[in-house]
Copies of this chain bind each other. A is one copy, B any other.
Amino acid sequence: MKTKRNDFENAMLAVQKKLPLGYSNYKQMIHDLLIDDVNSKWNNIRRYMTTNGYDGCLLSIDVNIFYVTGCIFNGYFYLPADGNPLFFVKRPNGYKGNGVFYVRKPEQIADYFAEHGIRKPEALLLEADELSYNEYTRLQAIFNPAKTGNATAMMRQQRMIKTPWELEQFRISASKHSATYKDVPKCYKAGMTDLEFQYEIERLMRVNGSIGIFRAFGTNMDIFMGSILAGSNAEAPSPFDFALGGAGSPSAPIGANGTLLKEGMSVMVDMVGNYTPYLSDMTRTFSIGKLSDLAYHAHQVSIDICRAVEASVSSGYPAAEVYNMAYAMAEREGLSGYFMGTKSQAKFVGHGTGLQINELPVFTPRSKDVMTEGMVVALEPKFVIPEVGAVGIENTYIMCADGLERITLAEESIIEL
């Protein structure tokens, strides 16, 4: 549908109190973000609703709010299938403009609808995989729709295909990510533990503009700024659904665990690229002295897998086949016992990334997704070599019309620290 620009402009000017990275004035931001970007997202959600028989969508989870407004507020974003959005804001105070209304509690949304003669949605999308049971049932009671659908599933599908503005944010993140990785060797001093090495990398990330916060989809996926795996800690299984594990600590059981970095160990650096809200994902492997031949061989196979995937994948390629290709190459080289772990082996070799690190698609044998222009994916064929540690690389790619474009550009071979 064609929508009136002035309404949106007013609303967005009100909601957008802070300029996103890369903008020095509101006018340019409004043009790019609002007219071209946010409006296209709203239209895609409306199209989904029309196609699937929904007439309203209510969002309140931070990443979803950011996706559809370019900022984060505490409250509710309501989009009807056939009209302009409404912003029901609890906090922060101070927003003004068309479509913006303050509420203390969600029941006031229904009051607003009644006062303004807006009909309640009969088929409503709510974030069923993100809202708590009590939040969800409260909203359901307020709107009492005949049918309720899953806005989480819808939004994860929408968010899988990135807009031009989002792709630009990824390029900024990946560029700073690559710059950080080039300086990783400067963070190392002989006699360090994995954690001490990580602290210096974290500081470097922050100085280079990392926003700190690292978001993942799902409960029980708390990870700090990324993961450093050294020596046999790479074999320790983790409770989380990340590619590799690491013992971490009792209340944060992933990644570095205080391992003293010693001759013959690999040190895998998988720190997030959170330099904009859009996360690039990148892994490089370093070594203390020389590693075993097996470790160098496996590392080269990881690079070879990346090259093979880059050469093969174009729009329409099944995501499952990326996993199958990687696994077949690992098996052909006699490395399947080390592929994606030893004691615990991840059943995926890559994943979409975005506002959260684990977006769609997933490169797993069970995936039904096909590669589509606008996807941003991380490919991470990794091996764990007992006694040595983890080896392999991870790169982030934009799925373009003419194939995969690698955006994480840093030396891929094992770098001796």
Q: Which residues of A contact B (CB under 8 A)?
A: 17-21, 60-62, 66, 70-75, 90-94, 126, 128-137, 150, 152, 195-196, 198-200, 202-203, 206-207, 211-213, 215, 219-220, 222-225, 236-241, 245, 247, 249-253, 276-277, 343-344, 355
Contacts and interface: CB of A to CB of B under 8 A. Distances in A.
A136 B94 CA distance: 36
Given A18-B247, A202-B202, A344-B91, A219 B134 contact: no
Contacts of A239: 72-75, 90-92
Contact of A245 (B92, B198, B203): B92
Most chain B CB within a 10 A radius of its CB, from A94, A131, A220: A220
Contacts of A225: 212
A344 B219 contact: no
Contact of A134 (B66, B129, B343): B129
B211 A202 contact: no
A22 to B, nearest CB: 11
A18 B250 CA distance: 6
A96 to B, nearest CB: 13
Contacts of A93: 237, 343-344
Nearest to A150: B134
Q: How many copies does the complex hold?
A: 2
Nearest to A70: B250
A71 B239 CA distance: 10
A328 B239 CA distance: 49
Contact of A252 (B61, B70, B211): B211
A192 to B, nearest CB: 11
Contacts of A90: 239
Contacts of A238: 91-92
Contact of A250 (B60, B72, B131): B72
Given A91-B344, A202-B206, 16 more contacts: A18-B250, A60-B220, A61-B219, A71-B253, A72-B239, A94-B237, A128-B132, A129-B135, A132-B152, A133-B135, A133-B136, A133-B137, A134-B150, A196-B207, A202-B203, A213-B223
Most chain B CB within a 10 A radius of its CB, from A74, A94, A247: A74
A250 B224 contact: no
A75 B250 CA distance: 16
B72 A219 contact: no
Nearest to A75: B239
Contact of A249 (B131, B207, B211, B223): B211
A128 B90 CA distance: 22
A225 B112 CA distance: 38
A238 B131 CA distance: 21
Nearest to A345: B93
Nearest to A139: B133
A355 B198 CA distance: 24
Contacts of A252: 72, 211-213
B136 A344 contact: no
Contacts of A20: 250
A135 B129 CA distance: 7
B250 A219 contact: no
Contacts of A200: 203
Contact of A253 (B72, B203, B236): B72
Nearest to A215: B222
A103 to B, nearest CB: 13
